[in-house]
Amino acid sequence: MNVLFDWLIHPFLEFSFMRRALVACLALGLGCGPVGVLLVLRRMSLVGDAMSHAVLPGAAIGFLVAGFSLTAMSVGGFVAGLVVALLAGLVTRFTEQREDASFAVFYLISLALGVLIVSTRGSNVDLLHVLFGTILAVDDVSLLLVASIASVTLLSLAVIYRPLIVECFDPEFLRSVQAHGAVYHLLFLMLLVLNLVAGFQALGTLMAVGLMMLPAAAARFWTQQVWTMAAVATGIAVLSGYVGLLLSYHGNLPSGPAIILTAGVIYVVSIVLGSQDGLRGRFLRSRHLQA
């Protein structure tokens, strides 16, 4: 019992940076869970990845203007992400181009711009390192930011939930009963960018998408209800954070990848054991039919 306590709980009691990292995971999971689930349902899983790159030039400009300021980099990242989302959305709505293509185009332009800006500022503070972030460094300000974004996300989703779901499954129907279907789509994209900005404070841009998409994709194997799925995704995200941090602590592994790989393992387990459309159902059923 004591050994278990030492392994599972004591690191969090001894070190406040471990507690903060865990709380950051909880806040991130609360925001990213539902957003990730909606991305999966809307078949926009890769848009999250694209948007995470789109944030880069804004954060870089924020860094150039205000130095190492969390506020400036967050605001910059948010604005850049939003511009890319808006442009891609506009192109999709008003031309024949499909959404995946327009997102790919604008995020690539944005990424190249970001790398360009980072490179011109070739000082010893490597901005790319900053953008990779580490959850062990989360301070009060970033924690507040991440928690606020999670709250805003949950409240906004509660408000626009119904039209958003309708738009997910039948955009034509929504257009026929309500004029502003695109507004919900844009609001949702805004929430996506917000959550990515929260994620890059804690995990860096690349890992943030991982905590958004992997738990959501795994949750798909456990339930079919959208809200339940979001709750399961949040649970998986928090569990990944907890296990990942313990792995990083006991196994001397970098924390960001440890967390995301834990989520990856949970995803694989969900594929095999999940109650909805998982491998378990398929193989059990086939055996049942044979017998």
Partner 1 sequence: MRFYLKYLVLALVLIVPTAWAEPLRVVASFSILGDLVKNVGGEDVTVTTLVGPDGDAHVFEATPADAKAVGNANLVVVNGLGFEGWIDRLIKAANYKGTVVVASQGIPPRQLKEEEAEHAKDSHGQDKHEGHGHGLITDPHAWQDLANGQRYVANITAALAKADPAHAEAYQRRGEAYLAQLKETDQWVRGQLAAVPAVKRKVITSHDAFGYFGAAYGVQFLAPVGWSTESEPSAKDVANLVRQIKQAGVRALFVENMSDPRLLKRIADEAGGVVGGTLYSDALAPAGKPGDSYLGMFRHNVPALAAAMAKN
Q: Least distance from C-beta 78 to partner 1, angstroms? A: 19
Q: Please list every residue from 35 through 74 that binds partner 1, using CB under 8 A.
A: 68
Q: How far apart are CA 219 and CA 17, in angstroms?
A: 29
- State which residue, 31 or 256, has the beta carbon closest to partner 1: 256
For partner 1, which residue of 26, 66, 86, 137 counts as binding (CB under 8 A)?
A: 137
Q: Which of 108, 92, 102 is nearest to 52 (CA)?
A: 108
Find out whether 203 and 259 touch, Cβ atoms under 8 Å: yes
User: Cα separation of 174 and 129, whole Å?
Assistant: 44
Cβ-based nearer residue to partner 1, 15 or 283: 15
Does 282 participate in binding partner 1 (rule CB under 8 A)?
Answer: no
Q: Is 134 a residue that touches partner 1 (CB under 8 A)?
A: yes
Token pair listed for 276:
């909805």
Q: Which is nearer to partner 1, 63 or 222 (CB)?
A: 63
Compute how many other C-beta atoms are within 10 angstroms of the C-beta atom of residue 227.
14
- Which residues between 11 and 40 bind partner 1 (CB under 8 A)? 11, 14-18, 20-21
Of 173, 157, 190, nearest in space to 88 by CA: 190
- x/- track of binding to partner 1 for residues 249-278 (CB under 8 A): xxxxxxxxxx--------------------
* Rounded Cα–Cα distance for residues 228 and 231 (Å): 5
| 41 versus 253: smaller Cβ distance to partner 1 | 253
In terms of residues, how long is the chain? 291
Q: Which of residues 152-181 bind partner 1 (CB under 8 A)?
A: none
Structure-block tokens of residue 209 = 């998408």
* 67 neighbors 127 (Cβ within 8 angstroms): no
By CB under 8 A, residue 120 contacts partner 1: no
- Token pair 């039209």 is found at 163
Tally Cβ neighbours within 10 Å of residue 178.
13
150 binds partner 1 (CB under 8 A): no
Measured CA distances, 269 to 25, 183, 219, 233, 266 (Å): 21, 37, 11, 14, 5
Residue 137 or residue 166: which is nearer to partner 1 going by CB?
A: 137
Binding residue for partner 1, selected from 79, 130, 217, 263, defined by CB under 8 A = 130
Instruction: Quote the least distance from Cβ 54 to partner 1, whole Å.
Output: 22
Q: Does residue 124 belong to the site contacting partner 1 (CB under 8 A)?
A: yes
Least distance in Å: CB of 259 to partner 1?
A: 10
Residues that bind partner 1 (CB under 8 A): 11, 14-18, 20-21, 68, 123-125, 129-130, 132-134, 136-139, 142, 245, 248-258
